[in-house]
Amino acid sequence: MADNVKPRVRVPRSVTAGEAFEVKTLISHKMESGQRKDKDGNRIPRSIINHFSCDFNGENVMQAELQGAVSTNPYFQFDAVVQESGTMTFTWNDDDGSVYTESKDITVG
């Protein structure tokens, strides 16, 4: 597991049913692209988060396939819309097999 991987998510605590709201996610990760070389000229192996997924009560909101050209500390902003209260879960998959998750409760009211 890469060091100090910390997911951060910002969603509204309560939303209106059927109305789109903004979701922001950030995860600290070095996203080693596999293109850089160390000072001896050896290629530094790729180590990135390759997949991101956001789900709400088991239904998918958005997924992303990441490549080496995504910046350090991958940040996403997107819109979601829900009809009932529930839990939004966020999943990041690392190249090394680690999975980082975060969840937020959202109330419709």
Partner 1 sequence: MEFTRRETLAIGAGAAAVSLMPLQAFADQEATDAAVAEYAAGGAITDGGVELTTPEIAENGNTVPISVSAPGAASILILASGNPSPKVIEFMFGSLAGSQSASCRIRLAGTQDVIALAKMPDGSVRRGTSTVKVTIGGCGG
Footprint of partner 1 (CB under 8 A): 20-22, 33, 35-37, 54-56, 59-72, 74-82
To 5 degrees, how large is the angle CA 92–CA 107–CA 62?
Answer: 30
Beta bridge partners of 108: 15
Nearest residue (CB) to partner 1, 3 versus 39: 39
95 within 8 A of 49, measured Cβ to Cβ: yes
Looking at this protein, which amino acid is placed at residue 46? R
Q: Least distance to partner 1 from the beta carbon of 31, Å?
A: 8
Q: Least distance to partner 1 from the beta carbon of 46, Å?
A: 10
Q: Least distance to partner 1 from the beta carbon of 10, Å?
A: 13
